Amino acid sequence: MYGANQISLMNEDDLQSELVVHHWMTTPHVLVFNHQSLKEVMEAMKRRNEELIFINEVHHVLGVVQHDRIFELLLQGYRLDQPFDPSWIEEAKTVSTKDTILAIDFKGVVIPVIDQEQKIVGALKPPELLKAQDFLIRSIQHNVNMIDVVLDNAYEGVTVVDQNGFIVKMNKAYRRFIGVTDDVVGKHVTDVIDNTQLHFTAKAGVPERGKVQVISGQKMIVHRIPIWQNNELIGAIGMLIFEGVSELYRILENATASSKRLELNMKPEQELTQVEDQSCVTFNQILGVSEEIYACKRLSKKAARTNATVLITGESGTGKEVFAKAIHLASKKANGPFIAINCAAIPEHLLEAELFGYEEGAFTGAKRGGSKGKFERAHNGTIFLDEIGDMPKHMQTKLLRVLEEREVVKVGGNRSIPISVRIIAATNQDLLEQVKNGEFREDLYYRLNVIHLPVPSLRERREDIPVLFSHYLKKFTGDYHMEEKKMDQKVMELIRSYEWPGNIRQLVNLAEQLITLVEGELISVEHLPPLIRDQPVQAKESHTLRSDRSEYEKEMIERTLLEVSGNKTKAAHRLGIHRSTLYKKMKQYRLNV
């Protein structure tokens, strides 16, 4: 049991774990049903002066008998020696030890608690439920107080508004900066902050980062971040990141000076490599705020610490090559070249020459002196083999030899050339299925799959859609020298709800279309393609539809897990979701398959 002093700052998951039934159940008052007399049942109830739970011989719950039911039977004229009829037992709704108190619809009757084998292990009674509710209220209040303390001690100014632009929180730093001493909660943000755009962010749902805003006569750097809950826009957060633009200039000057000092210590060949690898990206350039993308980055950073071969899987357009470039740039081979080749885009008869090079006269049209292949060009660097699932079978054999021997032989040659290359492969196909069908070599699959990096689809990371869409709108606005555009709230709701079969590549295409084709400064629903415009918005669906969809999703996950004997990786692959998403869904539906 949890006492009054056992409350600390906790997130939603922590709080949920503290409110599981197991923590709050008590010893059940039970009686094995064996056609006892009415008198025997009354005496059993009298011993504890509480409701009685009837069970069978294997401890499965039959139901509950309340005091009122006994009095009712006596008033109806039943004798004390009358055998207790099973129909007099009131059906009881049971709960699991792992259920949460929040999900229980309690109506004043004792609730039997059962284990995975459906056997009774405890009971929930009104006093315990009241204690749990009190614990929840005090925990939430404590968390709210702690958050207020954190915000008020932050150096940056923070303001939170609701969907209509009315202030619900402004910390001390922000109030101090704009010179406000009165309570501003409940006031519209435009009446308190100069030149604010926060109310537009709360309406449109498009994040804005690093914007310049004049506040109290000073140029400030601000972030405006929309707040989404269950796919519904409920407000926005405004943040003052620096003390002013002059402070930002000072920070940039310091960073530039540090870079110059580093450059003075660089070797000439390192400087050359820097120029050659301008196409590479860092992990910081991979945008997203979802747990799915953070998990993907964490695994990628671990992979970058070694020279192990990496297999990146994911749907087309998810950014597999972007992750490959980030891994390269964070690895020990970052000063070497990053060479990419699409195995599906090169004709089969030319692929070997492209990968391994050729000697002079190796075939008709071979240039004088021969040519280096991609592997040789990638020496001391990284080679990225995209669409590896489309590689012809005979080339798979040759690639396996390169992986094992770490040397290549050019087409038309007989000399082995040693190479030191980090190999990263990628595919949007199910290689294991291809192995089963005899289309892909099993030994090559295991050679490539040393570190498996599954990149989530865009529909698995919907939290990232506003961030990505805002970024590309801003990018194309600059690229085409266009004026910035705003969008109404319905546009972002539709964009978040869409399934995005083409993933980020499709999102980028839409952003470019809207910037170049929409006239005026407002992007409206009619500007969206029909596929996005005509789909239903999840946030507007009824609770019944949402419930039906949840039940279907739960059954599908449970059935898939049983089919693969509980293997989470296989189940996630079959369901077409990221493994971290599967764990989250299992926790949501309390599945323990």
Q: What is the pLDDT of residue 3?
A: 38
Distance CA 552, CA 3 (A): 39
Q: Are 203 and 163 in contact (CB under 8 A)?
A: yes
Q: What is the pLDDT of residue 457?
A: 93
Distance CA 251, CA 71 (A): 80
Give the contacts of 479 (CB within 8 A, at least 6 positions apart): none
- Residue 75: C-alpha distances to residues 43, 47, 90, 266 (Å): 18, 22, 18, 97
Give the contacts of 191 (CB within 8 A, at least 6 positions apart): none
- Whether pLDDT at 303 is above 90: yes
Per DSSP, the residues of 369-423 read T-B--HHHHTTTEEEEEETGGGS-HHHHHHHHHHHHH-EEE-BT---EEE--EEE
Helix (H) / strand (E) element for 15: namely helix 12-18
Q: What is the pLDDT of residue 400?
A: 93
Distance CA 309, CA 286 (A): 21
Predicted structure pTM score: 0.60
Q: Which of 485, 463, 491 is nearest to 287 (CA)?
A: 463
pLDDT of 500-527, one tens digit each? 989 999 999 999 999 999 988 899 999 9
Mean pLDDT of 65-85: 86
Q: What is the pLDDT of residue 464?
A: 92
Q: Which of 288, 333, 268 is nearest to 306 (CA)?
A: 333
Percent helix, percent strand, percent coil in the chain, to nearest 5: 45, 20, 35
- Banded model confidence at residue 549, pLDDT cuts 50, 70, 90: low
Distance CA 265, CA 298 (A): 30
Q: Which of 577, 542, 538, 575 is nearest to 557 (CA)?
A: 575
Q: What is the pLDDT of residue 545?
A: 47
DSSP 3-state of 291: helix
pLDDT of 177-225, one tens digit each? 888 878 888 899 999 998 999 999 998 888 888 888 888 777 788 889 9
Distance CA 362, CA 155 (A): 68
Per DSSP, the residues of 207-231 read -EEEEEEEETTEEEEEEEEEEEETT
- Residue 164: C-alpha distances to residues 16, 170, 242 (Å): 30, 16, 27
Q: What is the pLDDT of residue 153?
A: 67
All domains in the chain, ordered by first residue:
12-134 (3.10.580.10), 154-246 (3.30.450.20), 283-454 (3.40.50.300), 458-540 (1.10.8.60), 543-589 (1.10.10.60)
pLDDT of 304-361, one tens digit each? 999 999 999 999 999 999 999 999 999 999 999 999 999 988 888 888 888 998 887 7
Mean pLDDT of 283-290: 86
